[in-house]
Chain A
Amino acid sequence: MTTLSAPTISAPVRTRRRRTPRLPPVLILFVLLPLAVEGFWVFWPALQGFYLSLTDWDGVSAPRWVGFGNFTELFADPIFRTALVNTAIWLVLFGGISAAGGLGLALLLQQERRGVGFYRAALFTPVVFSLVATALMWQVIYQPDGLANRLLGAIGLGSWQHSWLANSSTVLYAVLLPALWRQLGYVMVLYLAGLKGIDPVLYEAAKLDGATKIQQFRNVTWPQLRSVNSVILSVIVIDSLRSFDVVWSMTKGGPYHSSELLSTYMYSTAFQSLQLGYASALAVVIFVLAFGVIVTYLVRAFREDAS
């Protein structure tokens, strides 16, 4: 990769950096204390979740050990396959659009101009409203005589009018929209913070070299955002695999599983069917998918940094 900064890395600096300094004890505390809190409240319950995925459990009586029975059952389950495909679509669309859109919005709104604070606030507001409010708003929009259809009618696209949430071929995209509506502002905020961390001197240097806006973006902004990008990628993968609340409160995964995601399917198996073992197996699948995507990326990023 050609970045402005890369060619100037000087050998002496590197050797200095490579000498391992003695680790001050206070830093060990800095790491261990948070790790202990997370360990107790997250890892311990999570390990129990892993254990439960190997059992049959109704939430009340003692769990019954079934080994990998839940997992073999999963792969024969047609609803699981639907949910898996939908989740893949979701990951690509939701993840791709919110990353690209969030960066675009951040680039647009990073400038100090009159009114920009209002625009940023407007785009962030959806993050503030939570699931029920969001679902309510969008149900109003998607009503058969709601805003979406009226708008289509008004611009002469009456033939495009749909029962968006009732139609099994449109429902997934119809629930994707509110999810994106919420996610874009959030990704934008992270990117704004990332853009602010970039040293303005770099842009000045680039401009002296006669770089165009696009070259500045390619050669300064993008490489400088690298570590922020891995944060945002992780955020997006986590959120798209766990996307749950909007879908659940709008369609519960219906009609007939056409908007079913792994997360909604897991929830309904856990809390409607009370098959907590099977639901835990689904959770493990979600975990493995998320971990797989993120680790693949991070390990590569770590390696690039190291070389």
Chain B
Amino acid sequence: MDNAVLTQWGQAGLNRRRFLAGLGAVGGAALLSGCATSATSTGPVKQTSGAVTIQSNLSSPQAKVAIEALAKDFSSKGQATATVNTIASETFRTQLPSYLTADNPPDAYTWYPGSLLNGYAKKGLLLDVDEVWQGMSNYSSAFRTLSGDGAGHQIFVPTDYYWWGFFYRKSNFAKWGVAEPKTWSDFIALCKTLQGKGVAPIGVGAGGDTAWVASAWFDYLNIRINGAPYHRQLLAGQSRFDDPRVTKVFNQWNTVLPYFDPQSTALDFQDATTSLLQGRTGMMLIGTFFADAAPKDILPDLDFFQFPVLDPAVPLAEEGPADGYFASSRTAHRAEVMDWLKYVATAPAQELYIKNSSGTVLPTNPDAKDSGTPLVAKGRALLESAKELTQFFNRDSSDALQPTADSALVRFIQKPNELPSILSDWQAAAQKVWSS
């Protein structure tokens, strides 16, 4: 066989001019490109009857069961029906702008109050729910303020909230012969004792893709040292991360850093929970959702204590993030959506949700009963004793600012000596977020 032809398929070399001409022809389409980014139509939406679609990011099995039970109960009440559409939370977060700007958006959404919603509200994408709040006069004013858009309208209906604290296993504390600390010096003493017993005193879980849990430390130290108002100012860009007040926070942090688990930034929070349960770490500053990461039979063994007070002169604030619902301004089922939001604000609905979910959240409706366990009662007391509530780093600032904190805080835990450059880098990164 003649192999000559095997390599014989070449023709003239690439003709650049031709190639560019080809590109130019397609370039004409660029003129039409406005369409992808054009703002959506703003006219009144034709109202139709039908089920309320609730786009939900509550994808954990218990939460999914709980919200579906809620929809079923709502539908059985008569006037309107609701269908729940559960989407993985990460997917939900990235697609939220698409959902909201679609020609035919889902009606209601699970989310939390904060700057993201305020931004959407300014763009007219969110439904004004003042009407729902008229029936919520028993709600605390903190929730009312939290759910406002800053321009006099309510855009959010909170249904539950939870707390953060130092969680530990009662049986482990008993085994080690230690007790909950009441003051900061107690806390340091506790850390020392645990370290002496070969236990890493403080677990974190800022590894893997949960670097954000480290922000709880920053939040708490800042609201204990500088107070919640300064914390909010800082997060809103009205102060700087290289401010001496922020340095003070990190200096305080530095005093407990030797007691941090060496695996603080290597384990994600779920694995860090396992370490805590196994007694390899003593305690962990975490939100109540962490209880879902523990085997059911261990739950009664879990307890928590408050983040110790550092300066009695600073009004006591606690982290108490709230979750709930908002709705699209371009819903085709306005009346039904209002019914849904009114329904989830009621005490029976919140009790139903808590009964089906893992039960470590608190209802926002003061008339609703919580799950009644001693742990939840203690958590409720903690939040009720607080003068002020903060939400969490990303909720008080924005999801855009969170990655800047993750970088800075993980780096601080690993290399505390680099503090000055950590803070100046953080300020630079944050500046970019604020100015965009």
B242 within 8 A of A: no
Chain A residues with CB under 8 A of B399: 272-274
Contact B29 A273 (CB under 8 A): no
Which residues of chain A are near B266, meaning CB under 8 Å?
Answer: 143-144, 163, 165-166
A5, B3: Cβ atoms closer than 8 Å: yes
Contacting A at CB under 8 A, from B417-436, are 425, 428-429, 432-433, 436
Say yes or no: is A44 at the interface (Cβ < 8 Å to chain B).
yes
**A43-B26, A166-B414, A302-B13 as given contacts; A251 in contact with B267, CB under 8 Å:** no
Distance (whole angstroms) from the CB of B260 to the closest CB of chain A: 13
Chain B nearest CB from A15 CB (Å) reads: 12
| Residues of chain A contacted by B3 (CB below 8 angstroms) | 4-5, 8, 199, 201-202, 205
Contacting B at CB under 8 A, from A51-68, are 51-52, 55-63
Complex Cα spacing A59 to B125, Å:
13
One of A108-116, A236-244, A252-260 at the interface: A252-260
Tell me, yes or no, whether B120 is within 8 Å of chain A by CB.
yes
Asked if B263 is at the interface of the complex by the 8 Å CB criterion, the answer is: yes
**Docked-complex contact A252 and B209, CB < 8 angstroms:** yes
Chain A residues contacting B41 (CB-CB under 8 Å) are none
- B contacts with A: majority SS: helix
Q: Looking across the interface, which residue of chain A has its beta carbon closest to that of B209?
A: A252
Q: Is A130 among interface residues, defined by CB-CB distance under 8 A?
A: no
Q: What is the 8 Å Cβ interface bit string for chain A, positions 1-35, against chain B (1 contact, 0 not)? A: 00111101110011001000000000000000000
Assess whether B414 is in contact with A48, with CB atoms less than 8 Å apart.
no
Q: Is B54 an interface residue (CB 8 A)?
A: no
Could you mark each residue 241-285 of chain B with 1 if its beta carbon is under 8 Å from any beta carbon of chain A, else 0?
000000000000000000000010111100100000000000000
Q: Beyond A62-B39, A255-B265, is A272–B4 a contact (Cβ under 8 Å)?
A: no
What are the residues of chain B within 8 A of A58 when measuring CB–CB? 119, 436
Residue numbers in B under 8 Å from A209 (CB-CB): none
- Asked if A216 is an interface residue, CB under 8 A from chain B, the answer is no
* B27 interface residue per 8 A CB criterion: yes
- Pick the interface stretch among B92-100, B171-179, B362-370: B92-100
CB pair B208–A165 under 8 Å, yes or no, is yes
The smallest C-beta distance from A274 to any residue of chain B, in angstroms, reads: 6
Contact with A along B28-52 (1 / 0, CB 8 A): 0110110011110000000000000
Q: Is A39 positioned at the interface, with any CB of B under 8 Å from its CB?
A: yes
Q: B14 and A143: CB pair below 8 A?
A: no
A250 neighbours in B (Cβ, 8 Å): 208-209
CB-CB nearest in chain B for A227? B9
Within 8 A of B (CB), among A187-210: 199, 201-202, 205
Given the interface pairs A48-B33, A306-B13, the reply to whether A255 lies near B26 with Cβ below 8 Å is no
The reply to whether A60 and B436 contact each other, CB–CB distance below 8 Å, is no
Is B5 on the interface with A (CB-CB < 8 A)? yes
A299 to B6, CA, bound (A): 20
How many chain B residues have a CB neighbour from A under 8 Å?
Answer: 59
* Contacting pair B37 A52 (CB below 8 A): yes
CB pair A63–B37 under 8 Å, yes or no, is yes
Query: Is A139 part of the binding interface, using a Cβ–Cβ cutoff of 8 Å?
Result: yes
- Output the least CB separation between B12 and chain A (Å): 6
A229 contacts chain B at the CB level, 8 A cutoff: no
B406 in the interface (beta carbon within 8 A): yes
CB-contacts of B387-411 with A (<8 A)? 399-400, 402-403, 406-408, 410-411
| Interface contact B263-A59, CB-CB below 8 Å | no
Taken together as a complex, chains A and B put the C-alpha atoms of A142 and B410 apart, in Å, by 18
Within 8 A of A (CB), among B66-101: 93-94, 97, 100-101
Chain A neighbourhood of B209, CB < 8 A = 249-252
Contact A303 to B13, CB < 8 A, known contacts A10-B4, A48-B36, A257-B407? yes
A154 within 8 A of B: no
The answer to the question of A45 belonging to the interface, with a C-beta cut-off of 8 Å to chain B, is yes
CB distance from B397 to the nearest CB of A (A): 12
Contact flag A9-B8 (CB < 8 Å), given A60-B100, A256-B407, A256-B411: yes
Q: Which residues of A contact B8 (CB under 8 A)?
A: 9, 13-14, 17
Residues in A with CB closer than 8 Å to B406 are 252, 254, 256
B17 in contact (CB, < 8 A): no
A274, B408: Cα distance in complex, Å: 20
- B interface residues, Cβ below 8 angstroms from A: 1-14, 26-27, 29-30, 32-33, 36-39, 93-94, 97, 100-101, 119-120, 123, 125, 207-209, 211, 263, 265-268, 271, 399-400, 402-403, 406-408, 410-411, 414, 425, 428-429, 432-433, 436
Give me the interface of A with B, judged by CB distance under 8 Å: 3-6, 8-10, 13-14, 17, 39, 43-45, 47-48, 50-52, 55-63, 77-79, 139, 143-144, 163, 165-166, 168, 199, 201-202, 205, 223-224, 226, 249-252, 254-257, 268, 271-275, 278, 298-299, 302-307
Shortest 5 CB-CB contacts between residues of A and residues of B: A305-B10, A163-B266, A166-B266, A273-B400, A256-B407
Q: Name 6 interchain pairs, CB-CB below 8 A, sorted by A.
A: A5-B4, A166-B207, A199-B1, A252-B406, A256-B410, A303-B13
Q: A144-B267, A165-B266, A302-B13 are known contacts; what are 12 more A-B pairs with Cβ within 8 Å?
A: A62-B39, A79-B429, A139-B268, A165-B207, A166-B207, A168-B414, A202-B6, A254-B406, A256-B406, A274-B400, A306-B11, A306-B13
